[in-house]
């Protein structure tokens, strides 16, 4: 069993760890591919869209605005530059609806934070769009549990080391909890910290890591609440 006895800081990923996020994107993709139905089959539409998102990731970064810009670019390519303005307007509207969507806190999270916040310094560490993540945190009502909020442009070992330094803790005192093996687990283990994976039922293809993890600093739990027994 993973030994977490030295941990003093617990960092939580936000999207699909604290609240639901990925299903919003899946739903938006489905709506986009419906709009593209006159030009392309749904499955192929999803493939092409993924290509545009990955191509634009280095320049746009993560988040809904980046996603919408990729949808428009992709839609024009799929329609061979015959995408009606009304469809572009619908795509922009999909984005605005995503940005305005209510925040659905995942089951057991509030209870988990309530328990852990009495014993640990809690941090929220997420990537994505600054304004959007702040807005979701505010809407979630979970802000009061967190000692510090860290919104970064990407999650690499370097980012985690910087966060640990900033929080003035060594890697052996740092535990990260998240749903993305690629963003929340591997770079933290690489930086010498502890990482707990709480899988979520939906994961973006870009975040999927295929190799199983064997590491003394790693564990996987069905829910954050289940982990609290060990903390």
Q: Which parts of this chain interact with a second copy (CB under 8 A)?
A: 59-61, 65-66, 68-69, 72-73, 76, 79, 81-86, 88-89, 92, 95-96, 99-100, 129-132, 134, 151-153
C-alpha–C-alpha distance, residues 220 and 195, integer Å? 9
* Least Å from the CB of residue 171 to a second copy: 21
**Closer Cβ to a second copy, 76 or 209, answer by number:** 76
Characterize the bridge pairing of strands 121-127 and 218-220. unpaired
Among candidates 23, 43, 25, 34, which has minimal Cα distance to 75? 34
**Closer Cβ to a second copy, 96 or 215, answer by number:** 96
Q: Which residues have a Cβ under 8 Å from the Cβ of 26 and sit 6 or more positions away?
A: 202
**Closer Cβ to a second copy, 59 or 229, answer by number:** 59
Q: H/E element holding 29? A: helix 22-35
C-alpha angle 42-46-52 in degrees, rounded to nearest 5? 140
**Closer Cβ to a second copy, 79 or 228, answer by number:** 79
* Least Å from the CB of residue 132 to a second copy: 8
* Least Å from the CB of residue 70 to a second copy: 10
* Least Å from the CB of residue 137 to a second copy: 11
C-beta of residue 157 within 8 angstroms of C-beta of residue 133: no
**Closer Cβ to a second copy, 79 or 220, answer by number:** 79
Q: Is 49 exposed, middle or buried (0-12, 13-18, 19+ CB in 10 A)?
A: buried
* Least Å from the CB of residue 92 to a second copy: 6
């Amino acid at each position: 069993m993973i030994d977490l006895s030295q941990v003093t800081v617990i960092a939580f990923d936000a999207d699909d760890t604290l609240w639901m996020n990925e299903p919003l994107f899946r739903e938006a993709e489905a709506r986009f591919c419906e709009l593209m139905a006159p030009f392309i089959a749904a499955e192929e539409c999803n493939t092409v869209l993924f290509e545009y998102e990955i191509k634009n990731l280095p320049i746009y970064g993560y988040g809904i605005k980046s996603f919408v810009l990729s949808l428009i670019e992709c839609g024009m390519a799929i329609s061979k530059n015959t995408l009606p303005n009304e469809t572009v307007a619908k795509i922009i509207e999909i984005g605005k609806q995503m940005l305005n969507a209510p925040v659905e806190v995942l089951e057991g999270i509030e209870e988990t934070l309530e328990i852990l916040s009495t014993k640990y310094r809690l941090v929220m560490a997420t990537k994505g769009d600054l304004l959007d993540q702040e807005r979701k945190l505010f809407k979630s009502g979970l802000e009061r549990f967190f000692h510090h909020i860290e919104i970064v442009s990407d999650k690499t070992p370097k980012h985690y080391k910087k966060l640990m330094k900033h929080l003035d803790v060594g890697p052996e005192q740092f535990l990260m909890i998240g749903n993305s093996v690629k963003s929340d687990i591997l770079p933290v283990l690489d930086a010498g910290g502890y990482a707990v994976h709480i899988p979520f039922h939906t994961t973006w293809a870009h975040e999927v890591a295929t190799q199983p993890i064997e590491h003394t600093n790693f564990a996987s739990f069905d829910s954050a609440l289940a982990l609290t027994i060990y903390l």
